[in-house]
Structure 1
Amino acid sequence: MRINLIIDKGLNIDFTKLEFCLNKYSKSIEFKVYENQFQWKEEYIVYPRTHIEIFDTLSQKELNSYINFLFTDVQYINNFFYEGYENLVPFSLFGWDYLTNLPIENGVLFFTVSYLARLLENAENRHYENIGCVYDFLGDKRGIDDAMRQASFCKNCLERLNQEVLTENDEKLLDDLKTLMNLLSTSSKWNKSIYEQTERKPKKMLFKRKAIIKKEINVVIASPGDLIEERELLIDKLERKFRTDKHEEMCKHRLKVHGWEDLASQNGYPQDVINERIIHNMDIVLAIFKHKLGSPTINQETGRERYPSGTAEEILYAIDNKNTDSPLGMIYFYSKPPSPSFEAENYNKLKSEWDRLKAFKQSIGNKVIYKPFTSKEELIELASRDLMINISELYEL
């Protein structure tokens, strides 16, 4: 399957890098990416008039190709992202910087996989509410940011796809789309270009950790107060998911999840009690952050600030202790920044809390590998899988 991506020169996209990137991750699709200088007769793209004018200029090779995607910054008169005509689909990336801070080449990849995904279904199925699925209609164009960061089929669309009778070629196309969507999601969640790919070398471990209780890994969930739903999901569902995903069987350890909720009401400075009764007796501290760092902890003897927050104190206990007897630290940060209105009464407070979290994130950058997440469902998937990998690689049987 040959697909031409024709880049209007006004977009300033490195088309050679884009072509190399797309073909590197595709097996059944041959991408040809090149620039062209279009002379637009009107200020806007008007369907079908503009499409017919462009279609009539296509070369014989382009006409014989499976499809031609044209990317430009010229706006549709109806403000759509795209409309198709024959085997030509002009995409408008007008106002890109107002919709997202992600690189424009990420948008080119998103619309490419989104349109190709539509070809796998016999019926036209689109979400008119933005839910972060590649089948979102994107009537609210700002939904493109979430769509690129998640770059996935929602549960219902995936189930519907699985019920389709796909040809062998469609199966190959679907495999390529999954690979390209994974590339897009992984890059976008880190606010990086799809061009940026890093290879991590496996770390050589001289000594493996010993679980406090043989064949059992005890994990505590550490979080500030703005992650109530995410925290409840991990505490209530992570153990079961770890078993049902066969991770317990694969890493040969049972998983037990804890939180400060395990403690009975009792005397003492709360953070000291949590540290002594829970944190110091865990194999892993798993911390999650969204838009807040949390309230500082206080030294009870001097009255001065001890750590920037309780969650920070708990995860730093793990990652600042290098010996294998201390807990392992794992951290996940929500991918999207807050977007409060400048007129909101608590704007300054929200901005201050976000700035504190950013400063903390920067301060631990050389101490731990942390990961982004875009939803609570993705968080539990990541946590379950990463726990299995870490337990398998870092803990004795």
Structure 2
Amino acid sequence: MAAKTHPGTVESTVPRLQLLDEQGAVHEDPKLSPYVQDIDTVELKGLYRSMALARRVDEEATSLQRQGQLVLWVPLRGQEAAQVGSAWATEPTDRLFPSYREHAVVFHRGVKPGQLLQLFRGHTAGGWDPNECNVNLYTMVLASQVPHAVGYAMGTALDRKAAEDAGEPAGEQTQAVVAYYGDGASTEGEIHESMVFAASYDAPILFFVQNNQWAISVPFSTQSRVPLATRAAGYGFEGLRVDGNDILAVLAATRYALDKIRRGEGPVMIEAETYRMGAHTTADDPTKYRQRDEEEQWGTLDPLERLEMFLRETHHVGDEYFESVANEGREMADELRTDVLGMTPPTFDEFFDKAYADPHSLVTAERAEYLDYQSGFAPQGDQDVSGSEGAHA
């Protein structure tokens, strides 16, 4: 489904790429098809499983937030193909910089759902060690992760050149960086500045934007008069538009882009056109700004349903497999709920340990001041209320 356009919209010269259409049939594309020739039935089933489990975790997390067990949740429903397809194309050594909705991406990298939900329960500002899985922590500040990603990419390129100049082994493969962000973040100044630096220094980075059509309550037609991929040419690098609900197109486009990046041809941008089926966050009410018919039309383009049709009709995958994935999802959701309800919140004084990597005299003094202040209060439940009762007598 095409997004609504502004009357002043300029016709894009960047084609929208697709391999797996809305009816679950595959079409050849000279640019993308070579990059998915190795994707057999086993791989396709794995892609479906990753999308389905991510959606089940998303549903459970939404329920937990509605029941007061999470402070907030950011739903991903509808964007599973964009996330899973792009993540599968990366190498474990590539560094990924998510925003706050890339749950399927971090799960693919080995982050446990319970680790992620510690953040949304308010028990931590992180949840995992970025160096263990090569995926950075979430950021709640819109677009702030993208300059960090470009700086990291520039640093890896400089390190590699320094090693080569010194005659030292630099590794067989260039480490690529992927920066994830949304159409709303694309209007932030940080994105422009990041692309300028990335282009100027041929940074090995992929800008991966999930255009889910809505920046909270602002439609994409208000945000831009051209597809976002069109903007890449202005910085001097290639931009691709893909059907973000087509997991084969996303996987192929990401592989194509990463190949270019590893060859030293500079940055690439991918715009995955998809749709946020639910709310922006659980603090949002999309019925205030979206029409039901729009949601229903995009609902017919569900990425899971599309891949399921392809698996059933072309690869003859039967009910048994889909039922097993559904059962696995239910078990995972039950484990996640048990995990979340069993989480122990940190005490406030523990946060003093997180201010700096090493002990700091100022933080030590502030902790002592805080603990001294707290010691002035009687333990809860031990207050002597006899005086107040006497006063009222």
Shared fold (TM-score, shorter chain, > 0.5): no
TM-score, normalised on structure 2?
0.27
User: TM-score if structure 1 supplies the norm length?
Assistant: 0.27
Flag the structure with higher helix content: 2
More strand by share: 1
Q: Say which structure, 1 or 2, has more relative contact order (CA 8 Å, 6+ apart).
A: 2
